[in-house]
Structure 1
């Protein structure tokens, strides 16, 4: 029997996934949590074979939870299951130690197949996303460039971003200019949206 831990902040989706997986004769859901903060404790308590993690959750996201599991519960493999099919997310998930990556609009039978494969250590990746990640998946942005672009998404001015990051305004402008070049865009707003869309932020 393959033991599964589910982590998703949307109770309806979490319940639906659990009900669907429990219909399988060789899979049982042993824990359900709604935040990334709860994943490690639940895994230690229930010793799952596979943790099915959403990416965007309160507190720690799915990437951070996957890294924690890799360090502290190495016997538990991670399958990321998310709404967001962003190529950069795939690269980040694999870097965090995930064995598989699926999008939630995949057919239900594919999820059960993926859980079985991941439990055996077989890598499972959405093929379309894998192809896109070869083109856009590697994040070219530095940590500072990511920080200033996140400020743009939050509506911060250059002055506000400079104060928040303890930088000079000219330095912020330089980081933004570099990010615009790396995203092949014309404005900082476009750069932030492209970076977000590719899963780089």
Structure 2
């Protein structure tokens, strides 16, 4: 029996996934959480072997939860199951330690098979997203550029961003200018939207 943990902040989605996966004779949902920062402790407490993680969750993203699992419980596998099928997310999830990446409209039988394959040590990636990811390549942004663009998403001024990250305004402008160039955008807010759409943030 493969022991599963489901992490999704939408209770209805979580419940539906649990109901579908519990129908499989070799799968058992042993934990459900609604926050990313609850994943590691719940996996440890319940002996979960595979964690299905949504990307957008309060407390911690699914990608960060995959990285936390890899560090804290290296024997536990993670499978990102998300509505947000952005190619950039695939690379980030795999780099964080996820063993798979599928979208939520994956048929139940295929999802159960993905869980089994991940449990056995294989990697599973939605084929359409894998192809898009190869075409788009990996993110050209540095960690600092990602951080500053994320802050720019909310429309923060350069001075507000500089104060928040303890850098000079000139340094922030230089990083944002580089990010604008890499995304082909005209403004920092446009660059942030492009990066978000590609899954780079």
- Is the 1:137–1:198 contact (alpha carbons within 8 Å) kept by the matching residues of 2? no
5+ residue gaps in structure 1?
Answer: none
2:144 aligned with 1:144, yes or no?
Answer: yes
Structure 1 residue runs of 4 or more that deviate by more than 3 Å after TM superposition: none
- Is the 2:155–2:189 contact (alpha carbons within 8 Å) kept by the matching residues of 1? no
State the alpha-carbon separation in 1 of the partners of residues 122 and 143 from structure 2. Answer: 32
Instruction: Show the counterpart of 1:82.
Output: 82
Instruction: Show the counterpart of 1:11.
Output: 11
- Is the 2:153–2:192 contact (alpha carbons within 8 Å) kept by the matching residues of 1? yes
State the alpha-carbon separation in 2 of the partners of residues 75 and 167 from structure 1. Answer: 39
2:186 aligned with 1:186, yes or no?
Answer: yes
**Greater mean alpha carbon deviation, residues 148-157 or residues 97-106:** 148-157
When normalised by structure 1's length, the TM-score is 0.94
Deviations 1:42-91 (A, max 9, x none): 11121122111111111122122212221222221111101101111111
Instruction: Show the counterpart of 1:93.
Output: 93
Kindly report the root-mean-square deviation, in angstroms, between the aligned alpha carbons of the 2 structures.
1.4
In structure 1, the residue corresponding to 2:5 is in which secondary structure?
A: strand
Instruction: Show the counterpart of 1:159.
Output: 159
5+ residue gaps in structure 2?
Answer: none
Change (3 A) 1:169 1:74: closer
Deviation at 1:167, TM superposition (A): 2.6
**Greater mean alpha carbon deviation, residues 11-20 or residues 166-175:** 166-175
Deviation at 1:150, TM superposition (A): 1.7
Instruction: Show the counterpart of 2:24.
Output: 24
* Corresponding residue pairs, total: 201
When normalised by structure 2's length, the TM-score is 0.94
- Is the 2:35–2:59 contact (alpha carbons within 8 Å) kept by the matching residues of 1? yes
- Is the 2:7–2:35 contact (alpha carbons within 8 Å) kept by the matching residues of 1? yes
- Is the 1:82–1:102 contact (alpha carbons within 8 Å) kept by the matching residues of 2? yes
- Is the 2:55–2:63 contact (alpha carbons within 8 Å) kept by the matching residues of 1? yes
- Is the 2:51–2:76 contact (alpha carbons within 8 Å) kept by the matching residues of 1? yes
